[in-house]
Amino acid sequence: MKPLPLDALQVFLSLCEHGSLTAASEHLHKSPSTLHHSIKKLEQHLGTPLIARAGPHLKLTAAGELLRQEGAQLLTGAQQLQRHVQTVASGWERCLRVAVDDIVPIEPVLKLCENYLNIAPDMCELALHREVLNGCWDALVMDRADLVIGAPEPRPELPNTEAMTLGTVKMVFAVVPHHPLARLKRPLTADDIRQHRIVTVADSAQKLPQRSIGLQPGQPVFRVGTLAQKVEAQKLGLGCGWLPYHLIDKAIAAGELVVLPTQEQPPAPSLNAAWLTPLTGKGLHWLVEQLKAGALRL
């Protein structure tokens, strides 16, 4: 069976939409006789009449009604496919995947995404997802991302990747006001902390080694999936632990959490952006240039 002629299908759907050959011809900027010929050609191709009655009150046959219902989706799909092909042929990625570590504030990332979407062709998809700790590096290794934002030090030795430092995040040790550690009234030792349950976020790495921040050997642990869950767990008194200050500044001001001093220096994770090389797609190249120009600093 020969493929359905899409140009004739477009004429038929325009006729159905506008109700007459005259109106459809004005819309398509073609003569009524040309459109009539296309409809006849389509009927011959399908081997069945499509129009039961023409004129001011267009009536379709059962086959014509089916083609009207299903044809629009087919034509739209073909047009979208054409735009996808043209987009990829012009050097833009059909889908650009960006992994963002859970510790990175989302607002500046979304601003960067907004700027990207404003200049990228409409058919370019931008896919954003969160990772935790070594999960960002792992996303490059396992081909879950083309670009990662917030991947922590130390940088693993990965082939075909380039990285740059974005900055550091301020971390504080926080508990609820009634937590036993809050009653010590002195800088906490590692042994003080080890005796109490710590809330940690599970590393999302699948192939690379997983890690935790602040977890000591033999310490009771409550493991959650996201930093937002960790914040809520610590606000409920389910454990202690290090948290990014920007995530809990309001909770501290409201008295829901208190920051405790520690003898050991707080972790100050240095965060990186990293991407696959060589830069073959226009979208990834644009984002990398924006990052190098300081569009996102922590």
Q: Which fold has domain 6-89?
A: Arc Repressor Mutant, subunit A (1.10.10)
Could you check whether the bond before residue 154 is cis, i.e. omega within 30 degrees of 0? yes
Is residue 27 pLDDT above 80, yes or no? Answer: no
pLDDT (mean) for 202-221: 94
Q: Which fold has domain 171-259?
A: D-Maltodextrin-Binding Protein; domain 2 (3.40.190)
What residue spans in the chain does CATH classification 1.10.10.10 cover? 6-89
Buried b (16+ CB within 10 A) or exposed e, 242-261: bbbeebbeebeeeebbbebe
Is residue 94 pLDDT above 90, yes or no? Answer: no
Is residue 5 pLDDT above 80, yes or no? Answer: no
Burial of 173 (0-12, 13-18, 19+ CB in 10 A): buried
Is residue 89 pLDDT above 60, yes or no? Answer: no
* Band (85; pLDDT cuts 50, 70, 90): low
Q: 53 by DSSP, 3-state: which?
A: strand
pLDDT (mean) for 32-54: 79
**How many beta carbons lie within 10 A of that of residue 38, not counting itself?**
22
Q: 296 by DSSP, 3-state: which?
A: coil
Is residue 79 pLDDT above 90, yes or no? Answer: no
* CA-closest candidate to residue 186, choices 267, 264, 263, 266: 263
| Residue 159 CB partners (closer than 8 Å, separation 6+) | none
- Are the beta carbons of 242 and 193 closer than 8 angstroms? no
| pLDDT at res. 82 | 64
- Are the beta carbons of 230 and 199 closer than 8 angstroms? yes
Predicted confidence (pLDDT) per residue in 139-198, tens digit: 999 999 999 999 999 999 898 899 999 999 999 999 999 999 999 989 999 999 999 999
pLDDT (mean) for 100-113: 95
Decide which of 226 and 280 is more confident: 226
| Residue 234 CB partners (closer than 8 Å, separation 6+) | 174, 175, 176, 199, 240, 241, 243, 257
pLDDT (mean) for 202-218: 93
Burial of 128 (0-12, 13-18, 19+ CB in 10 A): middle
CATH class of 95-167+270-292: alpha beta
Buried b (16+ CB within 10 A) or exposed e, 7-31: ebbbbbbbbbebebbeebbeebebe
Q: 82 by DSSP, 3-state: which?
A: helix
Cα torsion angle, 14, 18, 21, 22, sign:
negative
What is the rounded end-to-end Cα distance, in angstroms, of the chain?
60
* Band (65; pLDDT cuts 50, 70, 90): confident
Is residue 248 pLDDT above 80, yes or no? Answer: yes
Half-sphere exposure of 188 (CA within 13 A, CB side): 26
Q: Mean of the per-residue pLDDT values for the chain? A: 88
CA angle 214, 217, 218 (to 5 degrees): 115
Q: What is the largest CA-CA distance in the chain?
A: 92
Q: 131 by DSSP, 3-state: which?
A: strand
Q: 46 by DSSP, 3-state: which?
A: helix
- Are the beta carbons of 235 and 251 closer than 8 angstroms? yes
Q: Do you know the residue count of the chain?
A: 298
What residue spans in the chain does CATH classification 3.40.190.10 cover? 95-167+270-292
Is residue 229 pLDDT above 70, yes or no? Answer: yes
User: For tokens 């087919």, what's the residue?
Assistant: 74
Is residue 37 pLDDT above 70, yes or no? Answer: yes
**Pairing state of beta strands 147-152 and 270-276?**
antiparallel
| pLDDT at res. 56 | 61
What residue spans in the chain does CATH classification 3.40.190.290 cover? 171-259
Per-residue DSSP letter, 217: T
Is residue 298 pLDDT above 60, yes or no? Answer: yes
| pLDDT at res. 222 | 98
